[in-house]
Amino acid sequence: MLSLGPTLLTELLGTTSRIVSGTMAFVMFLAATGVQFAVRKLPRRTVLTAGAISTALGMAALIAAVPASSVVLLVTSALLAGAGQGMGQLGGLSLLNSTVPPQRLAEANAALNVGGYLPAGLLPVSTGYLMDAVGLPTGATVFGTALTVLAVVGALFVLASRRRVPEPA
């Protein structure tokens, strides 16, 4: 969303203002940070599931924003995507910290980052090429749909693991 947002804003608003794009990125990061403070005392599974739901809702708002040419929906998408990213990162890092032995924590953190940031880099680049080939509305829809599917799969994985791994008090 962070890399796709400026292009969508340019198309929806007809502006190339870096201030507008930067403000949307700021709002997204603010949501990611703020939500971590708001949910830090919740169980990890709740945080991870809520993050996945927030991401899926954000992508639904993105998919709706483009054909409607709605800046409000696009900003809503950024807020929800930011909140989803913040909760996912908090939940993932908390899970690592509670399950990985301290002497292996650095390498587990590195693996988590590679596993998270590699797709986070490849998906928007692929979407950019897709948008060049098929247009912005179709590319944004494919991007939003792919992230929604990944978020739903993640939520289902968290919910399915509920029976196997007890949550510490």
Distances (CA, A) of 75 to 23, 40, 57, 67, 82: 10, 24, 12, 15, 10
Around 90, how many Cα atoms within 13 Å sit in the side-chain half-sphere? 28
Q: What is the pLDDT of residue 19?
A: 81
Report the pLDDT averaged over residues 116-145.
Answer: 89
99 inside domain: yes
Report the pLDDT averaged over residues 121-135.
Answer: 90
* Residue 23 pLDDT grade (very low, low, confident, very high; cuts 50, 70, 90): confident
112 SS3 class: helix
Number of domains in the chain: 1
State the DSSP code for 43.
-
Looking up residue 88, the CATH number of its domain turns out to be 1.20.1250.20
Query: Which residue in the block uniquely carries the two structure tokens 């954000």?
Result: 58
Q: What is the pLDDT of residue 58?
A: 95
75 inside domain: yes
Q: What is the pLDDT of residue 87?
A: 97
Segment 52-66, tens digit of pLDDT: 999 999 999 999 988
Q: Is the pLDDT of residue 20 over 90?
A: no
Report the pLDDT averaged over residues 104-133.
Answer: 89
The domain of 106 spans 5-161
Q: DSSP string covering 63-87, please?
A: HHHHHHT-HHHHHHHHHHHHHHHHH
* 3-state class percentages of the chain: helix first, strand second, coil last, to nearest 5: 85, 0, 15
166 inside domain: no
